[in-house]
Structure formats: C-alpha cells, structure tokens
Amino acid sequence: MNPLISYLQLIKPIPEQDVPLIISYFRIKAFKEGDYLFRGGKTCDELFFICSGVVRIVSTNEKGVEVVHYFYNENHFCTILQSFDEGIQTDTHIQACCNVEALALTKNKLHTLYQQLPYMKPLIQEMFRRQLLEKVNTRNAYLGQDAEAQYKLFIGQQPDIALRVPVKDIASFLGITPQSLSRIRKNIR
C-alpha cells in the first residue's frame, strides 16, 4: 500500500474508493543530499510527505550560523507550518540531509482536496496536531540536560536519524559545537 495512505489510516480509515483521488493530488519529487525542498525568503506553499530519506528544518541566526531546528524522516509530513498556514514569508528552509523522495502537495491543491473530501481537513489537522506534540515532547526532553545526556537521548530516540545526518547537524540541533559533540562521542563509545 502507498506509504502516505498507510500513514493517514493510522489517524482515520480512508475509504478505498478515495485512495486514487488522494494520491492524484500529490506529485513525487526527488532531492539529492543538500538540495532544498523549500528555500526560505518566501512563503512556503507546499506540504511534503517524506517517503524516504531525512530532511532538516534549518535557519540562519543573526551571527550567520545555521541552526537546525528539527529533523523529519520517513512517514512524516513536513512544511514550514506557520508560513504554510498563514501565508507569510519565512527565512526557514527545508533541506535534504541525504537523498530524499517526497510526495508534494500545494496549499491550493490541499484546499481543493478538502472540498472534494471534507473529512480530509480534520484528518490533516489531527496529523499536524500529533506531529506538533511529538516535536514539542522531543524538544522538551532535552531541557535541563547536559550535552552528553542530550546526545544519548538523541541517539536513543532517533537512532535512524543519528546514523544518516552529518555530525555538525546533530550538534546544531543539540545546541553544541561539533568539536564538543566529537568529544562526547569518543567518551561514550
């Protein structure tokens, strides 16, 4: 079965006759490591479902340093939610950490899908709610932890991502320098 439909059915059963219509709204896109699924500086009007690979949500701080906010791997939807929802410009990017295959849906097509299948709107909203809670719980787990404890938690909670993204990205996500992370990694082996 299509991974997108399998994911959506975790939230709500999808009538079999609606599956081809839902799939028809998405288009397959392939990205190489380093490619941008979305480059900031404009409004994000696409929603991505990650079929394979890992992406990072990243921005550049006032010092010109990249800051990784989050990673998404297979079977996750990904967008810059505030920009997508409110139609506002963002400086945040979505970038492939390795080769990525994703299903993409524009905001306009999503609204058309909502008109054709009204049950899709609460389903997608529930998906966003669940992913937002997952993201908040993941980030909150790191609060008050020292760098070594944060790294151990990261590799415990997201071992698949830890193996597929550059160390510098993990360090940025954890808010430590790559050199500190290298020392931590040596100490826990």
pLDDT for residue 84: 96
Task: Evaluate whether residue 48 is within a structural domain.
Answer: yes
Answer yes or no: is 160 within a domain: no
Decide: residue 185, CB within 10 A, 0-12 exposed, 13-18 middle, 19+ buried. middle
CA 142, CA 155: separation in Å to the nearest integer? 12
| pLDDT at residue 142, as a whole number | 87
| 141, part of any domain | no
Q: Is the dihedral of CA 151, 154, 159, 161 positive or negative?
A: negative
**Domain contains 170:** no
3-class SS letters over 48-76: EEEEECCEEEEEECCCCCEEEEEEECCCC
In a domain, 26, yes or no: yes
**Angle formed by the axes of helices 147-157 and 120-142, to 10°?**
150
The CB-side HSE value for 80 (13 A sphere, CA atoms) comes to: 26
**Domain tally, the chain:** 1
Within 53-185, strands assigned E span: 55-60, 66-72, 77-78, 89-90, 93-96, 100-106
Query: Tens digit of pLDDT for each residue in 20-59?
Result: 999 999 999 999 999 999 999 999 999 999 999 999 999 9
Nearest one of 155, 161, 158 to 181, comparing CA atoms: 155
Q: Answer yes or no: is 67 within a domain.
A: yes
pLDDT tens digit sequence for 91-131: 999 999 999 999 999 999 999 999 999 999 999 999 999 99
Compute the average pLDDT of residues 82-95: 96
Q: Is 51 among the domain residues?
A: yes
Bridge partners of 93, per DSSP, are: 58
| pLDDT one-digit tens code per residue, 132-179 | 999 899 889 888 889 899 999 999 988 999 889 999 999 999 999 889
CATH number of the domain where residue 45 is located? 2.60.120.10
CA gap 166, 64 in Å, rounded: 19
127 occurs within a structural domain: no
Domain that holds residue 43: 3-117
How far apart (Å, rounded) are the C-alpha atoms in residues 173 and 113? Answer: 35
The pLDDT of residue 139: 86
Dist. CA 95–CA 50, nearest whole Å: 12
Element (H, E) at 31: strand 27-31
